[in-house]
Chains A and B, each alone.
Chain A
Amino acid sequence: MKKNIRKSLALVLTTAIAGASIAGCGTRPESAGQDSSAQNSADSSAAQTSQTGATESSDYKVLRFGQALSGDGLDMQKSTSSTSASIADEVTESLLRFNDDNEEEVVLLTDFPEISEDGTVYSFELKEGVYFTDGTELTSEDVQFTFERMFKPETEAKSYSYFSMIKGADKVLSGEADTLEGFEVVDDYHFTITLDYAYAPFIENIGTSYADIFPKEATQAAGDNWGVGTNLIGTGPYVIQSNDDVSQVVLVKNENYHGGEVNLDEIDIIYYDDVTTKLLAYENGEIDLADLPADLLGQYQESYADQIHAYHPLGTNFISLNLQDEVLSDVNVRKAISLAINREELVETILNGAGIPATSYLNNQIPGHSDSNGVYEYDPEAAKALLAESGYEDGLVIDAEIRAADQTLYGAIQGYLAEVGITLNLNVVDNATWSSDRAAGSIDLTGITWNALYADADFQVYTYFYSDNSDGKSVFYHNDEFDKLLDDARSETDEAKRAELYEQADTILSLEDYAAIPLFYPQSQFIAKDYVKGFTVGNLIYHFWYVDIEK
C-alpha cells in the first residue's frame, strides 16, 4: 500500500513537471503593449520580415542595435531618457530637429518659424501632404493638441518646463484651462505660438524629442497606453512593428515617409542591461551596433580599433559641491580641490584618453565656452597654501556620495585630494539612493556629467546652477550677479552677445566662486560592424536616419 502511494507521489510530481513543460513550451505571450489592432501604413513591409532579422529577401536590410532599456515607455512627453528618444525619434518627429552636427534643421515645416521683433511670437507653416503612419494628415490641430497635452496634469509629462513660457501654459498646468492661450491655429497648415516673455532657446526646445508631434485621434484613443507597445504613431521614417517593452522593439520602414526613401527595411532594438553581455553579443554577431562605455574601451581598442567610433556629447563632467556644507562653503577649500586635480593625467590614465580636459564649465562645443585660461590649473602646493589660509593646515575630511559608475574616477580624485591633505570619504550608492539624497540636499560632494540637449549654454548652466534650480541639486549656489547674467542671456536674441554673457557667467561659476569643479568633456564611443554605413552620433541620442547596410 505504502509503496503504491509513493509511486502515486512520483506520478503526481512527474505529471506536474510534464504539465509545466507543456505550458512552458507554449506560444510566447503578447505583452499588453503589443496591440494587434494598431494599424499602420507599413504593413506591406512588415509582412516581409520575421523577428530578429530573419528575412525573405537578401536585399532586405536589417540593423540590430543593442542598448539599455529605459523602461519608461516611448512617449517623449513622459520620458526623459536618451535611450527612449533613440527609438521614439525614428517614429515620431518634432517640427525641427538636430542633425548629427548638432545643427537644427527643418522637418515638418516649410521653413524655420518667423519670430516677432520682441521675440515672443513664433509663426509656423507646416509642410502640406505629411501623413502620420495611421493615414491621417498632419495639421495644425495635431500640433496644438500635442502642446496642450504636455501641460495637462493627467498627462504627467516630465518635460513641460522647456515650453512653460508659452502664454497660458500655467493655466493648463493647474487645470484652470483646457486650451493654450498662446497657441493660435490660423488654418490647417499655419499656426502661431506666443510666449509670455522672449526666450531665445525656445526655437531649440521645439527641435527636441520632447516636442515630437502626435496625431490627435490616435493619441486620445490610446489614452494612458500611448508610448507603450506599438501605441506610438508619428510621421517618422519607421513604424513600430512589435514592442514587448521588455526585451525588444522591431521597427520597419515607413514606405510613405515624407522625407524620401528610407535606407533600412528594419531596425531591431534589443535591450541589454548587462553591458558585458551586450558586447559579447556584438562579438558573436548577434547585434551590429552598440555603445561602448569608456571603462571597456581599453579592452576592445586593440581588437576592434577600426570598428570603434568616438563622438563628443554636449556635456561636462564636474564635481558638484554642496555650498551649504560648513567646509565647502569656504571658497578656498573649493579652489583647493580644483587645484589639487591633474585633469590631463586623469583623462589620459583613468579615461584611456576618452575625454578632453576642461577649460571652462561650458562644454567646448557650446557658444560661451572659453579656452582662454587653458586647462584648469594643477598646483597642489597652491592648494595646500589655500587650505592653510583657511585653517586646515592639518587637513580636513569631506564626505562624498557617488554612484557605482564613478567609482574608478573618484578613487583617483581621492588620491589627488589626499596629496593636499583632504580626506575624501567615498560612499558608493545606487542610482535611486543618489537621486533622492541629491533632491533632499543631503549630498556634500558628488560627480556628475551634465549634458545639454543642444548646443546652447542655457540648458547646461541655467538648469543646474540658477538659484531656483541649484537647491534641488544639492548645490545651493546663490549669486545674484550670476543669476542676472543668465536671465539677460535668456532674453537676448543676438547670439554673439548671448555667448559673451554666458562666458562671463562661466567665469564667475568656475573660476571665481568655484561652485563647480569642471573636470573634462566626456567622449563617448559606439562600436559598429564595418557594413554599417553612415552612422554618426551628434549628441547622446542615436539616430538612424542616414544609416545603411552594405554587406
Chain B
Amino acid sequence: MRKYLLKRIGLAIGIVFAISLITFIILNIIPGDPAALMLGDMASPETIAKLREQMGLDRPLPEQYIAWIFRLITGDLGNSYFQKKPVLELIGYALYYTSRLAICAYAIALIIGITSGVIAAVFQGKAVDRILMTIAIMGISAPAFWVAILLQIYIALNFDIFPVSGANEPIGFVLPSIALGSRYAASIARITRTSMIETMNQDFIKTARAKGLKNYRIILVHALRNALLPIVTVIGSDIGSLLAGAMLTESVFNIPGIGKLLIDAINKRDLPIVQGTVMYIATVCVLIYLIVDILYAVIDPRIKLGEGSSE
C-alpha cells in the first residue's frame, strides 16, 4: 500500500509540474503583449519596452520559468499586473464565490438528480421514466450558459424574485445554481436510475418484500441506501470540476468567481493570474483525484498502480 501511495503521489506531483510547464509555454507563445495592453493607446514603443524590462518579460523564457517555479514552491504566485494585488489573495476572494456556487449547484443537482433517478427506476419502462430520462439527456446536452440565459430571460425578468445577476445576496445564487446544477442533476439521475434498478433486483429487496415491508420503506431505506454508493464515487470528480469555476455561468451571472477571474485575466494577458489560476485548478483536480484513488485502494486492495488487479 505504501508503495502504491508513493507512486500515486509522485505521479500527481509530476502531473502538476507538467501542467505548469505547458501553461507557461502556451501563455508565452500566444500573441499579445501585457505591457502594451497595460500602457494603453498612448504608449510609445520605447515606454512599452521599458515596462517589459521592468516586468522581466524581456528575459529568456527558461529563466522566467525557473524564477516562477521557485516562487510557486514558496507559495508566491506573484502580483496581478493590473490590479497589483497578490494572485493568491485574488484566487482566495474568487474561491469564496465559486465554492458557494459549487455547493448550491451540487446540492440542487443531488436533490433533483436522486429524486428523478429513484422515480424513474420505480416506474421503469413507463411514461414517467421515459419523460424523466429524456429531460436528463436534454440536461446533459444543454450548455450551462444557454440554460443560464434562458433562466435570466424567462424567470428573472418575469418574476420579481430573482436578480439577473450578482452574488452578494443568497437569492442571487439560485438561478446560477440551477443553471450549473442542471447538468450534474441529469447525470446523477441517470446513474441513480441504473443503480436503483440493479439494487431493486437483488435478493435482499425480495426478502424485504417477502417480509411485508411497505413499498416506500423498501425503496427509500433499503434500495436507495445501497444504490447511492455509485453516486458517492462520482461526487469527487464533480467537486473538482465545480471548484475549478464555471467560466460561462459565472460570466453570464456576473459572479466574481474563479472562472470569471481566469477569463478576465486571459483577455488582459494578466499572466500571473492566468498561471496562478491554472495551477490552482490543476492542483485541486489532481488532489481530488488522488484522494479518490487512494480511497479506492483502501476499499479494494487489489488496485495497485501498474500491477493489474489480479493481486
Contact = CB atoms under 8 A, between A and B. Distances in A.
Contact of A28 (B166, B168, B300): B168
A17 B106 contact: yes
B152 A277 contact: yes
Contacts of B299: 2, 5-6, 9
Interface string B206-245: 0000000000000000000000110011011001000000
Contacts of A2: 299-300
B99 A273 contact: no
A150 to B, nearest CB: 14
Contacts of A429: 31
A25 B100 CA distance: 7
A13 B239 CA distance: 10
Contacts of B45: 439-441, 471-472
B228 A10 contact: yes
A281 interface: yes
A155 interface: no
A433 B229 CA distance: 49
Given A247-B254, A277-B252, A432-B33, A32 B42 contact: no
A437 B45 CA distance: 11
A96 B251 CA distance: 39
A483 interface: no
A3 to B, nearest CB: 9
Contact of B37 (A273, A432, A468): A432
Contact of B164 (A9, A245, A284): A284
Interface residues of A, number: 72
Contact of B32 (A31, A71, A283, A436): A436
Given A29-B92, A429-B31, A435 B36 contact: yes
A139 interface: no
A435 to B, nearest CB: 4
A500 B32 CA distance: 40
A48 interface: no
Contact of A13 (B38, B39, B153, B236): B236
B49 to A, nearest CB: 9
Interface stretch (B65-73, B114-122, B260-268): B260-268
A248 B37 CA distance: 23
A447 to B, nearest CB: 13
B295 interface: yes
A6 B226 CA distance: 10
A432 B267 contact: yes
B309 interface: no
B193 interface: no
Nearest to B170: A25
A51 B36 contact: no
Contacts of B166: 52, 247, 270, 281, 286
A358 to B, nearest CB: 20
A5 B106 CA distance: 24
Interface stretch (B13-21, B81-89, B135-143, B194-202): B81-89
Interface in B28-50: 30-34, 36-45, 48
A284 B163 contact: yes
The number of chain B residues touching the other chain, given as a range, is 35 or more
A17 B168 contact: no
Nearest to A429: B31
A445 to B, nearest CB: 17
Nearest to B298: A5
A228 B33 contact: no
A158 B264 CA distance: 21
A47 interface: no
A301 interface: no
Interface string B155-168: 01100000111111
A159 B38 CA distance: 12
B269 interface: yes
B102 interface: yes
B33 A435 contact: yes
Contact of A280 (B31, B103, B165, B235): B165
Contacts of B85: 31-33, 228, 245
Given A52-B168, A247-B254, A72 B83 contact: yes
A328 to B, nearest CB: 20
A409 interface: no
A283 B168 contact: no
Contact of A283 (B103, B157, B298): B157
Given A17-B239, A432-B269, A24 B103 contact: yes
B123 interface: no
B204 interface: no
A303 to B, nearest CB: 12
A271 B264 CA distance: 12
Contacts of B54: 156
Nearest to B270: A71
Contact of B153 (A20, A156, A225, A280): A280
A71 B99 contact: no
B146 interface: no
Given A29-B92, A31-B93, A246-B256, A280 B164 contact: yes
A24 B48 contact: no
B103 A228 contact: no
Contacts of B33: 432, 435-436, 439-440
Interface in A1-33: 2, 5-6, 9-10, 12-14, 16-17, 20-21, 23-26, 28-29, 31-33
B268 A284 contact: no
Given A158-B39, A224-B84, A435-B33, A51 B267 contact: no
Interface in A395-451: 429-433, 435-441, 450
A471 B100 CA distance: 49
A9 B252 contact: no
Contact of A246 (B93, B156, B229, B253): B93
Contacts of A52: 166, 168-169
A429 B267 CA distance: 11
A16 B85 CA distance: 30
A277 B267 contact: no
B254 A23 contact: no
Given A13-B232, A277-B164, A281-B163, A23 B99 contact: yes
Nearest to A33: B85
Contacts of A14: 232
A123 interface: no
Given A10-B228, A72-B82, A277-B165, A433 B31 contact: yes
A122 interface: no
B103 A439 contact: no
A32 B264 CA distance: 19
Given A5-B298, A71-B82, A286-B163, 6 more contacts: A12-B295, A16-B239, A29-B96, A270-B166, A436-B37, A439-B43
8 contacts: A28-B168, A52-B169, A71-B83, A73-B83, A80-B40, A246-B93, A284-B163, A432-B268
Query: Which 10 pairs across A and B sit closest by C-beta, in order of nearness?
Result: A432-B32, A436-B33, A433-B31, A435-B36, A432-B269, A436-B36, A24-B100, A24-B99, A80-B40, A280-B164
Interface of B: 30-34, 36-45, 48, 54, 82-86, 89-90, 92-94, 96, 99-100, 102-104, 106-107, 149, 152-153, 156-157, 163-169, 228-229, 232-233, 235-236, 239, 251-254, 256, 260, 263-264, 267-269, 295, 298-300
Interface of A: 2, 5-6, 9-10, 12-14, 16-17, 20-21, 23-26, 28-29, 31-33, 51-52, 69, 71-73, 80, 156, 158-159, 161, 224-225, 228, 244-248, 270-274, 276-278, 280-281, 283-284, 286, 429-433, 435-441, 450, 463, 468-469, 471-473
